[in-house]
């Protein structure tokens, strides 16, 4: 089945899935197809808001009838249905893969889809844009935006062309996210330290929480200096903090998490 063209029944299932606000991955699982097959199918046939099974079937038959290897067809006018088909399909596959990567970090799927669309837009998107692109309700967009705003992954700007808000990814998004992680680690430090007092430092649970408190304290101290030492390959400070915390780290684990630049920096220090 994978690798063959979709048939009319499958296209009707795609249309039904889009109407039910299902994402590409879920539709693909129901069909037993790769997600990229569904995303390309939808992208080349008007996108999720305009997809129609009958029109998609007719377009597929038209493409199948076109001669291959013959004289080049006359160039299409800019703006016709298939003028940007290869790029649209590639973009759609990328957005799906990007979304799955964000979901894998624990972000809810709708919030991940919203974040990816905003990230991939040149000038941000309004709530209406997101509703149209994703085929979800206004309430779903509102909840996703509130979640992402709370994590400082997006920010709101007034649309200069009107009274609506636009959601954008600022240039400082990753440093803001870093600061949020520093605050989260500080909260872990406080709660684990309180746990040691509440459960007793000599109990197995207390010992476990004390170990966690040392770990989060070391990470917080390192992260409080900002991301720049790690971004430039200066990983020594992090390793010293882990050593002070008594966290066991094997050479194999280090090779797995350090970049080539960071490993080179450590060799220079040695």
Residue 99 exposed, middle or buried by CB count within 10 Å (0-12, 13-18, 19+): buried
- What are the pLDDT tens digits along the chain (270 aa)? 444 678 989 999 999 988 888 887 888 888 988 877 887 788 778 777 788 888 888 888 877 776 554 444 443 433 334 444 556 667 778 888 888 888 888 889 999 999 999 988 888 888 988 998 888 888 999 999 999 988 888 888 876 666 778 898 876 666 777 777 888 888 999 999 999 999 999 999 999 999 999 998 888 887 776 655 555 545 555 666 565 556 566 666 666 656 666 666 666 555
Q: What is the pLDDT of residue 71?
A: 42
203: in domain: yes
Same domain, 145 and 27: yes
248: in domain: yes
Task: Single out the residue in 101, 135, 168 at which a domain terminates.
Answer: 168
Task: Give backbone dihedrals phi and psi of 156, rounded to 5 degrees, phi first.
Answer: -100, 140
155: in domain: yes
Q: CA angle at residue 36 from 32 to 41, to 5 degrees?
A: 90
CA–chain centroid gap for 79, Å, is 29
Same domain, 20 and 129: yes
For position 26, which CATH number holds?
1.10.10.10
Same domain, 164 and 178: no
Question: Residue 248 belongs to what domain range?
Answer: 173-269
Same domain, 231 and 113: no
Same domain, 136 and 16: yes
| CA-CA-CA-CA dihedral for 139, 48, 26, 148, to nearest 10 | -40
Same domain, 109 and 230: no
Q: What is the pLDDT of residue 114?
A: 93
89: in domain: yes
Task: Single out the residue in 115, 150, 168 at which a domain terminates.
Answer: 168
Q: How many CB atoms lie within 10 A of CB 58?
A: 12
188: in domain: yes
Q: Provide the strand spans (E) within 175-238.
A: none
Task: Single out the residue in 168, 193, 212 at which a domain terminates.
Answer: 168
Q: What is the pLDDT of residue 136?
A: 84
Contact partners, residue 200, CB within 8 Å, separation at least 6: 206
| CA-CA-CA-CA dihedral for 180, 186, 188, 189, to nearest 10 | 160
Same domain, 58 and 179: no
- Give bridge partners of residue 165 from the DSSP assignment: 158
Structure tokens at 132: 């149209």
Same domain, 24 and 144: yes
Q: Half-sphere exposure of residue 95, counting CA atoms within 13 Å on the CB side?
A: 26
Same domain, 14 and 148: yes
Same domain, 30 and 150: yes
42: in domain: yes
**How many separate domains does the chain show?**
2
Q: How far is CA 244 from CA 21, 142, 220, in A?
A: 50, 44, 13
1: in domain: no
Rounded to whole angstroms, the maximal C-alpha distance in the chain is 83
111: in domain: yes
Overall residue count recorded for the chain in this entry: 270
CB 205 within 8 A of CB 192: no
Task: Give backbone dihedrals phi and psi of 140, rounded to 5 degrees, phi first.
Answer: -65, -40
pTM above 0.85, yes or no: no
Same domain, 50 and 88: yes
Same domain, 145 and 177: no
């Amino acid at each position: 089945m994978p690798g063959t063209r979709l048939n009319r029944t499958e296209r009707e299932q795609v249309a039904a899935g889009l109407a039910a606000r299902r994402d590409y991955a879920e539709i693909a699982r129901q069909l037993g197809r790769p997600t990229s097959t569904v995303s390309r199918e939808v992208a080349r046939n008007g996108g999720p808001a305009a997809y129609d099974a009958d029109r998609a079937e007719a377009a597929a038959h038209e493409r199948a009838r076109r001669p291959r290897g013959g004289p080049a067809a006359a160039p299409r006018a800019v703006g016709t249905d298939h003028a940007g088909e290869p790029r649209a399909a590639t973009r759609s596959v990328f957005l799906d893969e990007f979304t799955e990567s964000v979901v894998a970090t624990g972000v809810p799927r709708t919030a991940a889809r919203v974040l990816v669309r905003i990230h991939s837009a040149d000038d941000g998107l309004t709530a209406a844009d997101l509703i149209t692109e994703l085929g979800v309700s206004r309430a779903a967009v509102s909840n996703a935006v509130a979640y992402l705003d709370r994590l400082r992954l997006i920010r709101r700007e007034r649309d200069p062309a009107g009274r609506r808000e636009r959601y954008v990814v600022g240039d400082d998004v990753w440093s803001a996210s870093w600061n949020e992680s520093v605050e989260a680690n500080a909260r872990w430090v406080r709660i684990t330290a309180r746990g040691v007092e509440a459960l007793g430092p000599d109990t197995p649970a207390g010992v476990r929480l004390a170990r966690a408190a040392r770990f989060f304290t070391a990470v917080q101290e390192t992260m409080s200096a900002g991301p720049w030492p790690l971004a430039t390959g200066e990983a020594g400070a992090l390793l010293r903090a882990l050593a002070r915390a008594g966290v066991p780290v094997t050479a194999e684990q280090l090779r797995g998490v350090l970049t080539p630049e960071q490993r080179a920096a450590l060799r220079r220090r040695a």
